[in-house]
Amino acid sequence: MDKVLSNKKIIALYVLPSLLLILAIVYIPIVLTAYYGLNEWNGIGAMTFVGVDNYLALFKDTTFWNSAWHSLLLAVFSGISLLLYLIVAMVLAARIKGANLFRKIYLIPMLLSSVAIAQLWLKIYHPTNGVLNSMLESLGFANPPAWLAESSIVLFALFIPILWQYAGFYILIYYAALKNIPASLEEAAKIDGANALQIAWKIKLPLVMEVIKVTIVLAVVGSLKYFDLIFVMTDGGPNGASEVMASYMYHEAFRAYDFGYGSAIGFFLLVICLAVTWVIRKLTASKDTIQYS
Amino acid sequence: MFRKKGWMLLLAICLVLVAAGCGQNSNESNSGSKETAGESGEKVTVNFMHLWPEGVSAGQNKIVNQIIKAYQDEHPNVTIKQEVLDNEQYKNKLKVLSASNKLPDVGVTWAAGFLQPYVEGKLFTPVDDLLSGELNGKFVSGTTEAYAIDGKTYALPLEFNIAPVYYNKSLFEKYKLEIPQTYEQLKAVAKTLSENGIAPIALGNKDRWTGSLWYMYLADRIAGQQTLSGAINGEGSFMDEGLLQAATEVQTLVDSHAFVKGFNGLSNEEAKSEFLNGTAAMYMMGTWELPNFTTNEDIPKDFRDSVGFFKFPNVEGGKGDINSWVGGPGVGLFVAENSAVKAEAKAFVEYFVTQWGEQAVTGAGVIPATKVDTSSMELPQLYIDLFNEMNQASSITLFADVQMQANAAETHLNMIQALFGKAATPEKFSEEHDKAISDGK
Amino acid sequence: MVTGNVRIRNALSESKPGIGTKLGFSVLYAVLIVVAALQLFPLVWLLFFSLKNNQEVFNLPPLSLPMNPRWENYEKVWSAGNIDVYFFNSVWITVSATVITVMLGSLVTYAVTRMKWKGSSLVLGLFMVAMMIPVHSTLIPLFSLFNKVGLTDHPLSLILSYVAFNMPITIMILLGFYYALPREVEEAAIIDGCSVNRMFFRIVFPMTSSVLATTAIINMIYNWNEFIFVNTFISSDSYKTLTVGVQNFIGQYTTDWGAIGATLMISILPILITFLFLSNRIVEGIAAGSVKG
């Protein structure tokens, strides 16, 4: 068995095409980004090698650390919201009437592009005639806040559409994982007298654990390099209150023409992602993986 | 999942890739456009990248296509290949193309600070020969200068703009308001409107350059045009008393609710719609908005007829001149230095600029950078009035964010948002400006 | 969280209905329906929005009915040229990139989770790191790479980038499922003298149809909505995709929101249909018996 499963030719055949593609298309940019980060470069003229100056400057740059903090907050919220998505997926995967229809409807928002989602939420948050403030005013709240213009709330106001945007993605994955559990397992447990909660906790959860671990990494890494809605809805403002690492990278590289510094931010962002992923995998490591039997 | 050995290997691969990557990047800059260089009669393609998509800038897009068609008819061996991107994507792509030295033969650029890195990187070619040729004397004075660096001109301007304060005449009538002649009167107007539940001024300061206009006018009227220009080009300082006072006045306006609610979170587009809908009474913007107040059929005629404008009023005791404007040329056309078809590209630019002037007035309703005789044309009164104001201007200060180098411009724009949002004091605002501008030198 | 668990229990214990369960069911359905309405909101809003002009979009509440529907927005978009070309490009580029990614991703995941070889965890690590780079950091290096090999303004540059950048996330999702697949089947197959290729294509691949559909949906959505790479690598109209159609309605000084809405509506329909079709492929887990046969 081992002999068959360690056939080098087959392994090479399965892995090499993808690996080479990744190395060319993703790793060359990664390595070049690290290298640009060692230079002073406006992206146009000649580069000047400055060693680790950009990286040192990064450590002293409060704007960067603020944006890193915002990204980290988003990562924490994304991670926590996974629990909610899991519960929704469990309900949808249960054999209740109409579950199929509900599932399809629930996933529709994930089909929308960021451009559309941003426009929708800009209309919801509009300070004078937005849906939210119109509703609050009709409920008797005088002078509700301008959600995207107040430094103290803008970040959280942005988190809601971001989390909502990705809800469908995780519900879909959890749903597929739950559906993949053989029905016979659940039935056997029922015969043994287990109630629904026990089935969910003792049987389903362990079987989708590997998927959950993966989604934690995806959610955290995705949040740390998040860009889209923030860029369209607030552009990192006001006064940098919603600036995240990726938008800061973009502003430095493409607006301020400091491509060297922007690249340093980009590469450091990768290092942070790597470190956080490593921590997550350490924390969630388990001795053995559980399979369906 | 990761083992120690794995990490070592990963590191090794990275190192190999660094070497490969560096090698790859070092011999970058000699690949021009691949078109066959043109001797007369030979087939030539000129790549032209611009930012007037058909869907939005319909007027401009149509003119571009007409000019290209006419040019191709006159020069059957030349094909003009267009690439159209929206503003933000256009700027990004220009940047990416520059890094590989693959600029299109002809493209659109902004003046001064935007232009500078491209000129320093020798990506744009001087077009002085065109200025002394057929186009000699055709440009409105003060327009081509914004595209000149060290005595050479690197692009030819297409538009010329100033920024008046537009106002809603029917709202002013309703509340018995007069056009403010002094800054105190402007504040009084704002107060009356605000008390009546009308947002006095539409401002979309998410875009930041919009707030910059207000600061610049206050600075111009209080400290004077010379002081403002001096501070921006680094000869003077933003710590000047008048400039500090201008920054303080910005915050006074904010405190008196002169601007729409949530202005720091609104885009210019969103703010504009409040003016267009009559929920805000005033709106300061460049003359490129003119079509929306004159000929654009999508906007109700009633509204268009009730739009007027006034000059930013004088501040009592200030050193400003009411005929001094903030504005400047908008976009211009460049020719790439390593274009394989430079001669044809220049010929096309010359043709384009010549044709653009008149057609832009009638077709797009914007004010061109070339001199146009408007006396024989039938034009909306608002257009004619502003056109005349522009010709009588005592000075036109170029938009600060265009004037400054990219880095300083970013600081300026960020500080504008901070100042309006009261996250920065006038002192801090000025300090940061001085620092950014001296760093840029 | 507590209520969520109650909901699940109620949902699952449908076989023994009682008064409490019935009440629970009503609550559950009420919640499900409210959430479904919220999730349908963006689609309805988009439809209304596509039938308004700029002023109506900005000044009327988002869900106000378009008083005189402006179908001319759709006409304008269709006649604005090239939409048909963009549409066709979107379809074939999305489909090919999605198929290649899911196929290659499955091969890699199989080799990593099922076959025995040194360096499998390293390879996996390489794929994971590849999803940590912010996209704007890659634009300049990638453009220069494609420029070197003559692939700028060539659809292959898009397909290669889409495959490479979506590969890591695809593998990550597949991973969680592969870990949970039973090994017994494969062991039996090998003892019967089955080759690795045969085992993968005949046994494992069909067993993962749920997750294949899931990853295909995700890939499809990402590829369909992507525009940064299209704008950067492609300059000829004949190779651009539908998202560029949306971008073309965002101008230097003005933005035609009605037309953007119409473009978004046109562009969401194909993906909505495909999604509804693909999501039916996420089926009940393989009954234990069916695999052996």
Residues B275-301: tens digit of each pLDDT: 988 899 999 999 988 888 888 777 888
Cβ neighbours of residue A23 closer than 8 Å, sequence gap 6 or more:
B13, B17, C126
B234 exposed, middle or buried (CB, 10 Å; 0-12, 13-18, 19+)? middle
Q: Are strands B332-335 and B156-157 parallel, antiparallel or unpaired?
A: antiparallel
Lowest mean pLDDT among A133-142, B52-61, B267-276, C257-266: B52-61
Given a contact cutoff of 8 angstroms between Cβ atoms, the answer to whether C168 and C130 are in contact is yes
Lowest mean pLDDT among A103-112, A180-189, A242-251: A180-189
Segment B311-316 shows an average pLDDT of 94
- The string of pLDDT tens digits covering residues A252-280 is 999 988 999 999 999 999 999 999 999 99
How far apart CA B433 and CA B351 sit, in angstroms, is: 41
**Is the model's pLDDT at B148 over the cut of 60?**
yes
Buried/exposed A15-39: b ≥16 CB within 10 Å, e otherwise = bebbbebbbbbbbbbbbbbbbbbbb
Segment A194-201 shows an average pLDDT of 83
Closest CA to B277 of B198, B363, B381, B331: B198
**Predicted confidence band at A287 (pLDDT cuts at 50, 70, 90)?**
low
Mean of all residue pLDDT scores within chain B: 87
CA distance C238 to chain A (A): 22
CA distance C232 to chain B (A): 6
| Predicted local distance difference test score (pLDDT) of residue A291 | 61
CA distance C6 to chain B (A): 36
How far apart CA A231 and CA A244 sit, in angstroms, is: 9
Residues of B in contact with A151 (CB under 8 A): 421, 423
Given a contact cutoff of 8 angstroms between Cβ atoms, the answer to whether C223 and C93 are in contact is yes
Q: Distance of alpha carbon B210 from its chain centroid, rounded? A: 11
Q: What is the set of domains in chain B, with CATH numbers?
A: 44-159+330-372 (3.40.190.10), 162-327+397-439 (3.40.190.10)
| Predicted local distance difference test score (pLDDT) of residue B291 | 84
Contact: A200, C12; criterion CB under 8 Å? yes
| Predicted local distance difference test score (pLDDT) of residue C250 | 58
- The string of pLDDT tens digits covering residues B180-195 is 999 999 999 999 999 9
How far apart CA C252 and CA B75 sit, in angstroms, is: 30
| Predicted local distance difference test score (pLDDT) of residue B22 | 39
- The string of pLDDT tens digits covering residues B208-248 is 999 999 999 999 999 999 999 999 999 999 999 999 999 99
**Is the model's pLDDT at A226 over the cut of 90?**
yes
Lowest mean pLDDT among A177-191, B93-107, B219-233: A177-191
Segment B309-313 shows an average pLDDT of 96
**Is the model's pLDDT at B136 over the cut of 60?**
yes
How far apart CA C182 and CA B171 sit, in angstroms, is: 75
Please name the residue of chain A whose CA is at the shortest distance from the CA of residue B424: A239
| Predicted local distance difference test score (pLDDT) of residue C224 | 93
Closest CA to C247 of C220, C228, C270: C228
| Predicted local distance difference test score (pLDDT) of residue B441 | 57
- The string of pLDDT tens digits covering residues A89-148 is 998 888 778 888 898 898 888 888 888 888 889 888 999 888 899 889 989 888 899 999
How far apart CA B413 and CA A59 sit, in angstroms, is: 24
Residue C123, amino acid: V
**Is the model's pLDDT at B413 over the cut of 90?**
yes
Interface confidence (ipTM) of the complex? 0.91
Most confident of A135-139, B28-32, B249-253, C205-209: B249-253
The DSSP letter of residue B265 is: G
Return the percentage of chain A with pLDDT > 90, whole number: 60
| Predicted local distance difference test score (pLDDT) of residue B27 | 35
Residue B397, amino acid: T
Nearest neighbour of A6 by CB, restricted to C116, C214, C217: C116
Closest CA to B121 of C130, A259, C61, C182: A259
Residue ranges per structural domain of chain A: 37-284
Q: Are strands B324-329 and B106-109 parallel, antiparallel or unpaired?
A: unpaired
Nearest neighbour of A151 by CB, restricted to B92, B207, B423: B423
A79 exposed, middle or buried (CB, 10 Å; 0-12, 13-18, 19+)? middle
Give CA separation, B67 vs B72, B144, B356, B361, C16, in Å. 9, 21, 8, 14, 78
* Between residues B368 and C182, the one the model is more confident about: B368
| Predicted local distance difference test score (pLDDT) of residue C49 | 80
Please name the residue of chain A whose CA is at the shortest distance from the CA of residue B436: A256
Mean of all residue pLDDT scores within chain C: 82
Buried/exposed A159-188: b ≥16 CB within 10 Å, e otherwise = bebbbbbbbbbbbbbbbbbbbbbbeebbee
* Between residues B98 and A182, the one the model is more confident about: B98
For A21, phi and psi rounded to 5 degrees?
Answer: -60, -45
Most confident of A145-149, A281-285, C112-116: A145-149
CA distance B1 to chain C (A): 6
Closest CA to A170 of A48, A280, A84: A84
How far apart CA B163 and CA C173 sit, in angstroms, is: 54
Bridge partners, A40 (sequence order): A48
Does C64 lie at the interface with B, CB-CB under 8 angstroms? no
Segment A44-70 shows an average pLDDT of 93
Segment C249-271 shows an average pLDDT of 73
> Interface partners of A (3+ CB pairs, < 8 Å)?
B, C
* Between residues B283 and B15, the one the model is more confident about: B283
Return the percentage of chain A with pLDDT > 70, whole number: 97
| Predicted local distance difference test score (pLDDT) of residue C62 | 62
**Is the model's pLDDT at C210 over the cut of 80?**
yes
Does A278 lie at the interface with C, CB-CB under 8 angstroms? no
How far apart CA B167 and CA A272 sit, in angstroms, is: 51
Does C96 lie at the interface with B, CB-CB under 8 angstroms? no
**Is the model's pLDDT at C245 over the cut of 90?**
no
Give CA separation, C194 vs B179, B436, C108, C287, in Å. 90, 70, 20, 22
Mean of all residue pLDDT scores within chain A: 90
**Is the model's pLDDT at C5 over the cut of 60?**
no
Token output for A285: 């490591």
Please name the residue of chain C whose CA is at the shortest distance from the CA of residue A16: C108
**Is the model's pLDDT at C9 over the cut of 60?**
no
Given a contact cutoff of 8 angstroms between Cβ atoms, the answer to whether C264 and C55 are in contact is no
Please name the residue of chain B whose CA is at the shortest distance from the CA of residue C125: B2
Q: What is the CATH number of domain A37-284?
A: 1.10.3720.10
pTM greater than the 0.80 cutoff:
yes
C281 exposed, middle or buried (CB, 10 Å; 0-12, 13-18, 19+)? middle
Bridge partners, C250 (sequence order): C255
| Predicted local distance difference test score (pLDDT) of residue A227 | 94
**Is the model's pLDDT at B434 over the cut of 60?**
yes
**Predicted confidence band at B143 (pLDDT cuts at 50, 70, 90)?**
confident
Q: Which residues between 38 and 77 in chain C have a beta carbon less than 8 angstroms from any beta carbon of chain A?
A: 39-40, 42-43, 45-46, 49, 59-63
Contact: C167, A21; criterion CB under 8 Å? yes
**Is the model's pLDDT at C37 over the cut of 50?**
yes
Secondary structure (H, E, C), chain A: CHHHHCCHHHHHHHHHHHHHHHHHHHHHHHHHHHHHCCEECCCCCCCEECCCHHHHHHHHCHHHHHHHHHHHHHHHHHHHHHHHHHHHHHHHHCCCCCHHHHHHHHHHHHHCCHHHHHHHHHHHHCCCCCHHHHHHHHCCCCCCCCCCCCCCCHHHHHHHHHHHHHHHHHHHHHHHHHHCCCHHHHHHHHHCCCCHHHHHHHHHHHHCHHHHHHHHHHHHHHHHCCCHHHHHHCCCCCCCCCCCHHHHHHHHHHHCCCHHHHHHHHHHHHHHHHHHHHHHHHHHCCCCCCCCC
Nearest neighbour of B10 by CB, restricted to C122, C141, C250: C122
Tokens 């005592």: give the residue.
B394
Does B47 lie at the interface with C, CB-CB under 8 angstroms? yes
- Distance linking the first and last C-alpha atoms of chain C: 42
